[in-house]
Amino acid sequence: MRCGGGWGCKVVRLVQAPALQSSLVLACRQDWGLIGMRVVGQWYFRGCSHRQMPDLNQWSGTLKATLPLAKGAMRQVRPAKRQASFAEFVHRLKIEEKKRLPMFDCWFDMWHTHVDWEGDGNTSRMYRHAQLRALFRLFRRIQATAQSKQLNAQVFAVVTACEPGQDAVFIHTTNPNGTPYPYLPSNVYWLESLPSWLAPHVVLERYQVGVQIWKAKKSYFIQRRRP
């Protein structure tokens, strides 16, 4: 069951209340440390007795930010994320790189995958270059596999300037969904030189690189040049 709120709440666990026969409206918020349900103006909270809460106009599953905690409930404090060491980061990249090769037994409609799901490549320049090396190794590996299987596929990478967690390798073929093939991004400007952080990983004599700007953010479209 899902919360109707707009805070990204996921699974809501039912809290049993005694002598409850009517329908329930469940609510949750992950960082409040509470799961409650509203029944005719009453709120029932896990670990404490029911308590009268402020009336919410046109209740739709969304809790107001001013809603107080129930008596006895504890507010959750999320621990700070531990920064992975460089060795741990490189090890994780290698694992992701090895397990992200798809099965080449069907069509692809903008299929894509990432190697840095947590976006830790932003930690430092050293982390960023390690993340890009893993991404382009996967890129070349997917290209080679598609060629060996004689699959008429478009393989390309999209690399962002400042969000390594969004960097991805794509595979695209003709497909029954009607998505145009080959894919070409709109408003792309083809480059004759590369930024310093990208140049060590891409050879312009072999690859086409175009830049696209969306919401003031740059992303780079990279694919192998046709012979």
Residues whose CB is less than 8 angstroms from the CB of residue 213 and which lie 6 or more positions away in sequence, other chains included? 187, 219
Q: Check residue 121 and give left, alpha or beta (phi > 0: left; psi -120 to 50: alpha).
A: alpha
Residue 1 corresponds to which amino acid?
A: M
**Exposure b/e, 83-104, CB count within 10 A at least 16 = b:** eeeeeebbebbeebbeebeeeb
CA 151 to chain centroid: 28
Domain boundaries, the chain: 1-78, 86-224
Residues whose CB is less than 8 angstroms from the CB of residue 75 and which lie 6 or more positions away in sequence, other chains included? 31, 32, 33, 69
Q: Average pLDDT, whole number, for the chain? A: 75
pLDDT digits (tens, 9 = 90+) for 130-155: 999 999 999 999 999 999 988 899 99
Predicted structure pTM score: 0.64
Residue 201 pLDDT exceeds 90: yes
- Tell the burial category of 191 from Cβ atoms under 10 Å away from its Cβ (0-12, 13-18, 19+): middle
Q: What is the mean pLDDT of residues 171-185?
A: 93
Closest of 75, 178, 166 to residue 117, by C-alpha: 166
Instruction: Provide the 3-class DSSP secondary structure of residue 211.
Output: strand
Can you give the pLDDT at residue 108? Answer: 94
pLDDT digits (tens, 9 = 90+) for 14-55: 344 444 333 333 343 333 333 344 433 444 334 333 344 434
pLDDT digits (tens, 9 = 90+) for 68-124: 556 666 656 566 667 788 999 999 999 998 888 888 888 999 999 999 998 899 899
Can you give the pLDDT at residue 76? Answer: 62
Can you give the pLDDT at residue 226? Answer: 83
Can you give the pLDDT at residue 66? Answer: 45
Residue with tokens 């809290």: 15
Give me the torsion for CA of 34, 35, 39, 44, rounded to 10°: -50
